[in-house]
Chains A and B, each alone.
Chain A
Amino acid sequence: MSKFFLRSKWIFILPGAVMLALFLLPLSAILIRSSGDDFFANAFSGQALKALRLSFITSAVTTLLAMLFGTPLAYMLARWRIRFKTALELLIDLPIVLPPSVAGLALLIAFGRRGIFAPALEALGVSLPFTPAAVVLAQLFVAAPLYIRAARIGFAEVDAQLEEAANVEGANPWQMFTAVMLPLSGRALLSGAVLTWTRALGEFGATILFAGNLEGVTQTMPMAIYLGFERDLGVALALSALLIVVSALLLMLVRRLDRQQHD
């Protein structure tokens, strides 16, 4: 290697550019090939519209449920002294790295008609597979950990002195949570929620296994893309482009919220 190369900035720029190109080229290829006169006809065709609607509703429900059930969990992990904290955090992080196919199979084996908890569900008159509820459950399993993680970090960053001060003032746990914790970590929670929403929009692997694929009932955008590319590449490309743009916008929102949280 020449000394010139080793001393120059290029030793960083070249490999970095290769890495960037890997992200940029495929994504821009989709944008380039999908752009055309028929983009809107494709993106808003009957099947695509149904998938868009279902994806929007299920991912919104997923995000709300993640906030409803994830916030207390994150709060306890961040501010309480509880046993097995590390093990619990590991359990919550696990779905982030697991292959979605494992998640889908796990849900099926647990909550399917022949699943381990099938008798309990049957007693309640609930049958999950092939329903929009199964879509939400799959998204929640895969995406909620992102919210819990963000919320946990947000709660943990609240100054302990403020907590003590509130204690001295005689605040009960609920007042502590609503008057001290929520206002101070609100943006971290929102940022986590948007991240979860983005991930839920993109969920595919667990959904196709656990919820199946039926237009208007369980066929979300990623599924319409997967099957659409065999029927009509135009629709698949248009939906992909739409998902790329929406996801990019949501990620921008996440960054903005994170910045505000730390200012």
Chain B
Amino acid sequence: MEFITIVLSGVLIGAATYLILSKSVLRIIIGISVLSHGIHLMLLTMGQLKRGNVPILEDSVTNYTDPLPQAMILTAIVISFALTAFSLVLALRNYKVLGSDDTETMKGAQNEN
């Protein structure tokens, strides 16, 4: 099971790399969110994939799952949510001011202010 999720996260990260390297701003943003999904999946796999009880609450529990990777993923999801929202706003603003969503036009010139 772990093997499949690791391969899956590899596929996601590969797809994200392809998207981030493209020229359209929107594709880059989609690529960023796909990248974070791939990495969260990897993080989930790191805590071993198994079913178990809630730890700590009761002393008698023996077969429990590790809560820490899940807590970390939750935090990372919240952060990537905020980042995606912010980058969408920035992309929109960029589109309005620069009039294009192509990164070719975002090169900039020498010696400008």
Q: Determine if chain A interacts with chain B.
A: no
